[in-house]
């Protein structure tokens, strides 16, 4: 039997750590030497056989049980030593403490020693073999040197799926709907786990044709157990809706409808395990996207695809032999010619056969064998008995287990820890590294680099072997990237940890036992207390991550009583997270968690922290992000000398704790508030040169001494990536103070490695010299906000890396001239800039720097009322142009062949000589803008999909050229504030228009031709009284694609609605709001609406009743708000007419 070359056993680092503690001078001197020696010998004898047990445990349950027993005792020993060390440090002198309390712990050590001796005595009977190199140790230097920092493989190629990819893309690019159904068409990808369903969906999702086709794109990983509320929230957030909150399914579905109404969207639901038809029917209430909207679903179960009534089902099969080999070669021979290694080629093809055409297996094994690039190693992999293991533990592929066994031992711990994350859980790199630190996985070696740097190496290595993969969600300007684990990799991690690491989802709380060390737990209002009662009893628990389902008061409350039970019982906790929970205060008893290293209270509503938190000697990470009610930190905060990471982003801390420089080498301090008094001044930053990531310094108005600013030593903080300098200055200042501000900012020069910089509310008369051409070569983003006294911008044109520039509220600027571009003969100005925003510049008059900007994609000029002339003449890469409230500006828009988005509001002097046909979205506001631009937009823009027109006060225009304008691509049209009796175009010619909104058009009397577009899917009419008078002439009943109809009438025109045969039978959502004189819902007008699923009525004070005959049987959601005359009549169970609506699944009356 050939054995895989395992990278040291999983438990070796634990034994190493215990031995290091036992042999330290302090512990050895005050423990009985014989006891320490016996324990050390026993530990080493166990360690000698751990490598052998690492593989045998998968074939022999007895070996697995032996390892579990050893592991349990080792963790108990480690916990006890941590308690001794922590209490000793707290008491002051370790020797005095140990001599006084030795008897308290010695008996416990002896019990643990006996248990370990018993297990050590079994090793011969179990036939364990002693490793050739049995030194106690963690990751060797050699293994670390082999670890790549990143994967250099180009991931832009997919093997063996080209035809499937093109077939799916062609389907997604068509505008046809499902036969005889109003639902968004679904294409399901079905196949075995690891066969590449998600990868194929990712390639399709990121294809440029798809990105250009859809207005909205979203990717959602569906948990194995989910509820409609959480899934709807996830969908909203994936569409980047800022309104995504709440626990009311009806409100969330309504938000989703409004977001998607009239939009062509693509939604991917990845990893759907199971779903019943009723749940799916409720979820599909968002049948409001425009024609061409699509959904992709990936699932291993063809029954799931069928239950969703998929329009297309793609069954993925294993890769063919040639494609399997090509994929394997890509990862096993990168940068090498496979024909130069004939023996490896022969062995490799035999290994590929064993992978069964599964892409995940081929990729993972290819990466592993590239790292073990020798015939001996490849033969070991080929001949290992691990190929013949039963596929238990959730059908985990043997390849993943082989790859895991080859990891260094500390990396095995880091990877296995991730088993507590739910499938699809997205984590940020820094977040996970801090969790590893809390568990002590990074503490055993590498004196030449920091713990965080080691964590970075570990993380990058797990990415390089595909155990971690980058999330599909694209990062924003924050620079954060999120990662996840493939479901099969997640299964592997779960199988390794068995009972020690547990995620509590649904009703598996019974799986908790005394050996559980780490728990991720989801609590809801109904069973939160029951789950916590089980958790309270796990005395050895080390990690507890609590997630609360719901929003606001609908979340389970982490009350003081709940905390007391946790803090008194779980005294070995090292990591505790209440992130996002319903937590209002932190109990004083937090001090009982003496071993706590990591505490996350982010996104809670705590107002203060108890002073007792300052007794947590071991605490190294405290996360308080977006605790918006938090205004101060405890006075003794700086007693937390081991604190390395403090996140205060989004809090309202008014001042820092005194003498924060007393912290030992903090690596994260997101915010620093400069105080006026000694101990709170900016000099506290002097020695904090290991800070990384983001630092926001506010209260700089309190820095008046140049020496203090220099002492802050920002120039030496070479690991900072993002710096914000905020003065919070509102008062007027005399000249001397203004000049002092200049010298202080000059002294705050950051390190040249800085990538993002913001200067806010600076009141100096000029910008610092270091904000020039060569001092910040790596700067990617710069914001100059509220710098009101500066009369000249700094020379930024030759910053080589600058991509985003925002200038706002700099009211002293009158001219932006050549000094801004810092022209030179060799380089064009702003050669890397992609986004330029200039806003709220009250005195800016001239823009003289008009050359350069070769890569500019977005240009925004907003509220620059005195700007008179000139824009850049040619911007070859411009895609988006916004000019808003620049009333004096007289200029032609830049020549740009690829512009797709234009917004012109109240800028009457803007000339449009020609518009490229690439324009997809246009917003025009103001009479003159509309008169001069609308005709050109509609006639010349062949691909225009979305048009908004606002605030037209002109006469009826004779735009005869528009009367026959069909605007074939137009999907969405919104007209607001049209103060004319007619529209300048014939709506019925817009054959592909899906969404039409008319708002506040008081004089509009009719549509040209009195017809609406035949394919209209969504219609919203609000505050259009003259138009409402002719509603029966619109021909609504002819619109066979109309799904959503929304009406608001506060001019007292409607008394009864809808009239018989007014609406088409295709309507599935009807909304009536602010109909001040509406008294009756007409049964005859609803009778034929057999597709109606949602009826929403709001603010109709005269509404007396719903139809006595009842509402359509198809109705699934009824919502009535602020209709006082019928509220009592239809109250649930008690109302006189409740029985007429009781059959409707979801009813809300308020």
> Which DSSP string do the residues of 303-372 spell out, in sequence order?
HHHHHTT-SEEEE--PPPHHHHHHHHHHHHSTTS-GGG-HHHHHHHHHHHHHTTT-HHHHHHHHHHHHHT
Residue 150 lies in a domain: no
What is the spatial distance between Cα 310 and Cα 3, in angstroms, rounded to a whole number?
Answer: 47
What is the spatial distance between Cα 405 and Cα 570, in angstroms, rounded to a whole number?
Answer: 32
- For 961, other C-beta atoms within 10 Å of its C-beta total 13
Same domain, 356 and 270: no
For residues 973 and 947, the answer to whether their CB atoms sit within 8 Å is: yes
The pLDDT, as a whole number, for residue 244 is 52
User: What band does 151 get if pLDDT is binned at 50, 70 and 90?
Assistant: very low
Largest distance between two CA atoms of the chain = 104
What is the spatial distance between Cα 1014 and Cα 1012, in angstroms, rounded to a whole number?
Answer: 6
Indicate if the pLDDT at residue 976 is higher than 90.
yes
Which residue segment(s) compose the domain that 114 sits in? 1-137
The pLDDT, as a whole number, for residue 391 is 53
Same domain, 186 and 301: yes
Residue 296 lies in a domain: yes
User: What band does 360 get if pLDDT is binned at 50, 70 and 90?
Assistant: confident
Residue 750 lies in a domain: no
Indicate if the pLDDT at residue 246 is higher than 70.
no
Q: How far is CA 302 from the centre of its chain?
A: 30
For residues 544 and 577, the answer to whether their CB atoms sit within 8 Å is: yes
The pLDDT, as a whole number, for residue 137 is 46
User: Six-digit token pair at 603?
Assistant: 């996104």
Residue 729 lies in a domain: no
Least confident of 4-13, 759-768, 888-897: 4-13
Strands 1117-1121 and 804-808 come out as unpaired
Domain count, the chain: 4
What is the spatial distance between Cα 625 and Cα 604, in angstroms, rounded to a whole number?
Answer: 9
User: Six-digit token pair at 100?
Assistant: 């006084």
User: Six-digit token pair at 537?
Assistant: 């009893």
The pLDDT, as a whole number, for residue 284 is 59
Mean pLDDT of 512-516: 80
Q: What are the residue ranges of helices labelled H in 900-961? A: 927-940
Q: What is the pLDDT of residues 641-669, one digit of tens each?
A: 899 999 999 999 988 988 888 887 789 99
Give kind and range of the element (H or E) at residue 265. Answer: strand 265-270
The burial class, CB within 10 Å (0-12 / 13-18 / 19+), for 875 is buried
Indicate if the pLDDT at residue 588 is higher than 60.
yes
Query: Which is more confident, 531 or 794?
Result: 794
Mean pLDDT of 69-91: 81
Indicate if the pLDDT at residue 716 is higher than 90.
yes
Q: Which residue, among 909, 902, 989, has the nearest Cα to 937 in the 3D structure?
A: 902
* Residue in the structure block whose two tokens are 């007209």: 975
Indicate if the pLDDT at residue 670 is higher than 90.
yes
The burial class, CB within 10 Å (0-12 / 13-18 / 19+), for 387 is middle
Give kind and range of the element (H or E) at residue 544. Answer: strand 543-548
User: What band does 726 get if pLDDT is binned at 50, 70 and 90?
Assistant: very high
Q: What is the pLDDT of residues 533-550, one digit of tens each?
A: 888 888 889 999 998 876
The end-to-end CA distance of the chain, in Å, is 72
Show which of 315, 331, 355 is a domain's final residue.
315
What percentage of residues in the chain have a pLDDT greater than 70? 86
Give the single-character DSSP code of 418. G
Mean pLDDT of 348-374: 87
Same domain, 187 and 332: no
Indicate if the pLDDT at residue 552 is higher than 70.
no
Beta bridge partners of 217: 266
Least confident of 82-86, 551-555, 1108-1112: 551-555
User: What band does 195 get if pLDDT is binned at 50, 70 and 90?
Assistant: confident
Q: How many Cα atoms are found within 13 Å in the side-chain-facing hemisphere of 199? A: 24
The pLDDT, as a whole number, for residue 4 is 45
Least confident of 202-216, 501-515, 661-675, 1087-1101: 501-515
Same domain, 433 and 305: no
Show which of 422, 437, 467 is a domain's final residue.
467
Query: Which is more confident, 4 or 690?
Result: 690
Q: Which residues of 492-525 are buried (b: 16+ CB within 10 A; e: fewer)?
A: bbbbbbbebbbbbbeeebeebeebbbbbbbbbbb
For residues 1091 and 1017, the answer to whether their CB atoms sit within 8 Å is: no
Mean pLDDT of 840-852: 90
Same domain, 9 and 114: yes
Q: What is the pLDDT of residues 104-130, one digit of tens each?
A: 677 788 888 888 888 888 877 877 777
User: What band does 774 get if pLDDT is binned at 50, 70 and 90?
Assistant: confident
Indicate if the pLDDT at residue 575 is higher than 80.
yes
User: What band does 395 get if pLDDT is binned at 50, 70 and 90?
Assistant: very low
Same domain, 100 and 76: yes
The pLDDT, as a whole number, for residue 431 is 92
Same domain, 949 and 1063: yes
Same domain, 87 and 182: no
Indicate if the pLDDT at residue 737 is higher than 80.
no
Query: Which is more confident, 846 or 143?
Result: 846
The pLDDT, as a whole number, for residue 570 is 92
Same domain, 293 and 343: no
Q: Which residues of 70-82 are buried (b: 16+ CB within 10 A; e: fewer)?
A: bbbbbbbbbbbbb
Omega within 30 of 0 (cis) for the link into 1058: yes
What is the spatial distance between Cα 800 and Cα 826, in angstroms, rounded to a whole number?
Answer: 13
What is the spatial distance between Cα 628 and Cα 649, in angstroms, rounded to a whole number?
Answer: 9
Q: Which residue, among 578, 498, 600, 494, has the nearest Cα to 532 in the 3D structure?
A: 578
Give kind and range of the element (H or E) at residue 87. Answer: helix 61-91
Show which of 446, 467, 488 is a domain's final residue.
467
Residue 981 lies in a domain: yes
Mean pLDDT of 769-797: 91
Residue 738 lies in a domain: no
SS3 710: helix
What is the spatial distance between Cα 841 and Cα 938, in angstroms, rounded to a whole number?
Answer: 32
Indicate if the pLDDT at residue 938 is higher than 50.
yes
* Residue in the structure block whose two tokens are 């009158």: 814
Mean pLDDT of 988-1001: 87
Indicate if the pLDDT at residue 147 is higher than 50.
no
Contacts of 414 (CB under 8 A, 6+ apart): 436, 441, 442, 458, 462
Residue 110 lies in a domain: yes
Least confident of 853-857, 962-966, 1094-1098, 1144-1148: 962-966
* Residue in the structure block whose two tokens are 């713990």: 451
User: What band does 176 get if pLDDT is binned at 50, 70 and 90?
Assistant: low
Q: What is the pLDDT of residues 1073-1082, one digit of tens each?
A: 998 888 988 8
Q: What mean pLDDT is reported for the chain?
A: 83
CATH number at residue 212: 3.40.50.300
Provide the Cα torsion 224, 227, 230, 236; round to 10°.
Answer: 90
Q: Which residue, among 407, 425, 533, 364, has the nearest Cα to 144 in the 3D structure?
A: 407
Same domain, 328 and 307: no
Indicate if the pLDDT at residue 827 is higher than 70.
yes
Mean pLDDT of 93-100: 51
Least confident of 308-322, 503-517, 836-850: 503-517
What is the spatial distance between Cα 785 and Cα 591, in angstroms, rounded to a whole number?
Answer: 42
* Residue in the structure block whose two tokens are 């969906």: 201
Least confident of 339-353, 393-407, 1114-1128: 393-407
Contacts of 432 (CB under 8 A, 6+ apart): 418, 455, 459, 483
Same domain, 171 and 61: no
CATH number at residue 988: 3.80.10.10
Least confident of 13-22, 321-330, 1088-1097, 1135-1144: 13-22
Residue 687 lies in a domain: no
For residues 79 and 572, the answer to whether their CB atoms sit within 8 Å is: yes
Q: What is the pLDDT of residues 1009-1018, one digit of tens each?
A: 668 888 888 8
User: What band does 393 get if pLDDT is binned at 50, 70 and 90?
Assistant: very low
Indicate if the pLDDT at residue 1095 is higher than 70.
yes
Least confident of 151-155, 460-464, 1047-1051, 1058-1062: 151-155
For residues 477 and 694, the answer to whether their CB atoms sit within 8 Å is: no
Q: Which residue, among 139, 11, 716, 89, has the nearest Cα to 449 in the 3D structure?
A: 139
What percentage of residues in the chain have a pLDDT greater than 90? 26
Least confident of 267-281, 313-327, 479-493, 672-686: 267-281
Handedness of CA 158, 159, 161, 163 (dihedral sign): positive
Mean pLDDT of 925-937: 85
User: What band does 1008 get if pLDDT is binned at 50, 70 and 90?
Assistant: low
Q: Which residue, among 331, 322, 415, 321, has the nearest Cα to 373 in the 3D structure?
A: 331
SS3 600: strand
Provide the Cα torsion 649, 655, 659, 660; round to 10°.
Answer: 0
What is the spatial distance between Cα 986 and Cα 871, in angstroms, rounded to a whole number?
Answer: 35
Same domain, 68 and 213: no
The pLDDT, as a whole number, for residue 7 is 46
Indicate if the pLDDT at residue 969 is higher than 50.
yes
Mean pLDDT of 263-279: 80
Give the single-character DSSP code of 389. S
The pLDDT, as a whole number, for residue 762 is 92
The pLDDT, as a whole number, for residue 103 is 62
């Amino acid at each position: 039997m050939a054995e895989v070359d395992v990278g040291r056993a999983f438990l070796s680092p634990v034994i190493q750590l215990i031995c290091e503690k036992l042999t330290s001078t302090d512990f050895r001197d005050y423990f009985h030497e014989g006891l320490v020696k016996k324990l050390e010998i026993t530990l080493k004898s166990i360690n000698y056989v751990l490598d052998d047990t690492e593989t045998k445990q998968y074939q022999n349950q007895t070996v697995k049980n032996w390892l579990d027993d050893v592991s349990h005792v080792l963790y108990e020993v480690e916990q006890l030593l941590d308690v001794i060390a922590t209490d000793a440090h707290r008491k002051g002198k370790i020797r005095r403490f140990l001599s006084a309390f030795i008897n308290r712990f010695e008996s416990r050590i002896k019990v643990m020693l006996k248990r370990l001796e018993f297990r050590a005595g079994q090793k011969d009977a179990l036939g364990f073999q002693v490793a050739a190199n049995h030194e106690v140790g963690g990751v060797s230097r050699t293994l670390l040197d082999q670890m790549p920092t990143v994967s250099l493989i180009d991931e832009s190629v997919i093997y063996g799926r080209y035809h499937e990819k093109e077939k799916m893309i062609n389907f997604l690019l068509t505008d046809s709907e499902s036969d005889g159904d109003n639902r968004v068409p679904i294409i399901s990808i079905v196949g075995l786990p690891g066969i590449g369903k998600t990868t194929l969906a990712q390639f399709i999702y990121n294809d440029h044709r798809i990105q250009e086709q859809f207005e909205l794109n979203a990717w959602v990983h569906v948990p194995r157990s989910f509820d409609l509320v959480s899934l709807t929230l996830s969908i909203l957030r994936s569409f980047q809706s800022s309104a995504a909150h709440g626990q009311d399914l009806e409100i969330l579905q309504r938000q989703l409808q409004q977001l998607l109404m009239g939009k062509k969207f693509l939604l991917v639901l990845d990893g759907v395990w199971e779903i019943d038809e009723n749940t799916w029917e409720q979820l599909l209430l968002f049948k409001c996207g425009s024609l061409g909207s699509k959904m992709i679903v990936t699932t291993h179960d063809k029954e799931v695809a069928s239950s969703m009534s998929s329009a297309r089902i793609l069954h993925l099969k294993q890769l063919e032999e040639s494609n399997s080999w090509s994929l394997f070669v890509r990862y096993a021979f990168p940068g090498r010619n496979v024909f130069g290694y004939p023996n490896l080629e022969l062995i490799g093809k035999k290994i590929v056969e064993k992978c069964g055409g599964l892409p995940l297996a081929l990729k993972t094994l290819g990466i592993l064998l590239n790292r073990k690039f020798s015939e001996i190693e490849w033969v070991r992999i080929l001949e290992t008995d691990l190929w013949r293991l039963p596929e238990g533990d959730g059908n985990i592929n043997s390849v993943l287990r082989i790859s895991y066994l080859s990891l260094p031992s500390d990396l095995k711990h880091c990877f296995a820890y991730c088993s507590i994350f739910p499938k699809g859980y997205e984590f940020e790199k820094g977040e996970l590294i801090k969790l590893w630190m809390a568990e002590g996985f990074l503490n055993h070696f590498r004196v030449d680099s920091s713990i965080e740097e080691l964590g970075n190496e570990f993380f990058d290595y797990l990415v390089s072997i595909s155990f971690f993969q980058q999330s599909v969600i694209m990062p924003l300007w924050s620079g954060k990237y999120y990662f996840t684990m493939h479901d099969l990799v997640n299964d592997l991690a779960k199988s390794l940890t068995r009972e020690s690491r547990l995620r509590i989802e649904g009703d598996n709380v019974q799986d908790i036992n005394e050996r559980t060390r780490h728990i991720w737990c989801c609590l809801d209002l109904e069973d939160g207390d029951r789950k916590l009662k089980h958790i309270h009893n796990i005395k050895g628990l080390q990690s507890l991550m609590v997630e609360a389902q719901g929003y606001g008061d609908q979340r389970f409350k982490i009350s003081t009583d709940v905390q007391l039970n946790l803090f008194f019982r779980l005294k070995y906790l090292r990591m505790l997270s209440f992130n996002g929970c319903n937590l209002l205060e932190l109990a004083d008893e937090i001090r009982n968690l003496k071993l706590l290293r990591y505490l996350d209270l982010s996104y809670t509503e705590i107002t203060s922290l108890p002073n007792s938190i300052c007794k947590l000697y071991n605490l190294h990470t405290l996360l308080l992000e977006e605790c918006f009610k938090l205004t101060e930190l405890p006075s003794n905060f700086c007693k937390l000398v081991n604190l390395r990471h403090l996140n205060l982003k989004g809090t309202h801390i008014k001042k820092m704790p005194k003498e924060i420089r007393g912290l030992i080498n903090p690596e994260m301090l997101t915010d620093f508030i400069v105080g006026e008094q000694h101990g709170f001044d900016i000099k506290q930053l002097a020695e904090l040169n290991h800070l990384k990531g983001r630092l926001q310094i506010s209260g700089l108005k309190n820095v008046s001494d140049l020496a203090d600013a220099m002492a802050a030593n920002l120039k030496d903080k070479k690991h900072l990536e993002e710096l914000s300098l905020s003065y919070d200055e509102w008062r007027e200042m005399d000249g001397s103070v203004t000049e002092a501000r200049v010298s202080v900012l000059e002294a705050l020069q950051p390190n040249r490695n800085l990538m993002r910089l913001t200067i806010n509310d600076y009141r100096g008369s000029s910008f610092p010299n270091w904000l020039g051409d060569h001092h910040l070569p790596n700067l990617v983003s710069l914001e100059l906000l509220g710098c009101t006294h500066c009369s000249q911008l700094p020379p930024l044109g030759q910053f080589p890396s600058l991509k985003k520039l925002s200038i706002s509220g700099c009211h002293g600027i009158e001219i932006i001239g050549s000094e801004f571009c810092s022209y030179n003969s060799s380089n064009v100005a702003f050669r890397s800039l992609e986004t330029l925003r200039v806003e709220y510049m009250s005195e800016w008059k001239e823009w003289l720097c008009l050359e350069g900007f070769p890569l500019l994609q977005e240009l925004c000029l907003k509220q620059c009322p005195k700007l008179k002339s000139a824009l850049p003449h040619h911007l070859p890469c411009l895609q988006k142009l916004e000019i808003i409230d620049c009333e004096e500006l007289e200029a032609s828009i830049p020549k740009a062949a690829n512009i797709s988005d234009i917004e012109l509001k109240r800028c009457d002097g803007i000339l449009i000589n020609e518009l490229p046909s690439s324009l997809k979205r246009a917003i025009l506001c103001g009479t003159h803008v509309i008169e001069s631009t609308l005709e050109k937009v509609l006639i010349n823009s062949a691909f225009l999909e979305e048009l908004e027109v606002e605030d037209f006060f002109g006469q009826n225009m004779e735009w005869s050229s528009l009367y026959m304008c069909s605007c074939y691509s137009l999907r969405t049209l919104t007209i607001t504030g049209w103060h004319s009796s007619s529209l300048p175009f014939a709506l019925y010619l817009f054959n592909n228009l899906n969404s039409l909104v008319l708002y506040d058009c008081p004089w509009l009397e009719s549509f040209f031709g009195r017809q609406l577009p035949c394919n209209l899917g969504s219609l919203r009419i609000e505050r259009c009284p003259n138009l409402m008078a002719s509603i029966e002439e619109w021909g609504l009943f002819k619109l066979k694609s109309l799904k959503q109809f929304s009406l608001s009438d506060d001019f007292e025109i409607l008394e009864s609605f809808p009239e018989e045969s007014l609406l088409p039978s295709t309507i599935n959502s009807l909304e009536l709001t602010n109909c001040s004189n509406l008294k009756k819902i007409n049964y005859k007008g609803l009778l034929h609406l057999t597709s109606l699923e949602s009826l929403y009525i709001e603010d109709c004070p005269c509404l007396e009743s719903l139809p006595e005959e009842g509402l359509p049987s198809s109705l699934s959601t009824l919502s009535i708000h602020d209709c006082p005359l019928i509220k009592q009549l239809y109250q649930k169970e008690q109302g006189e007419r409740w029985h007429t609506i009781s059959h409707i699944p979801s009813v809300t009356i308020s």
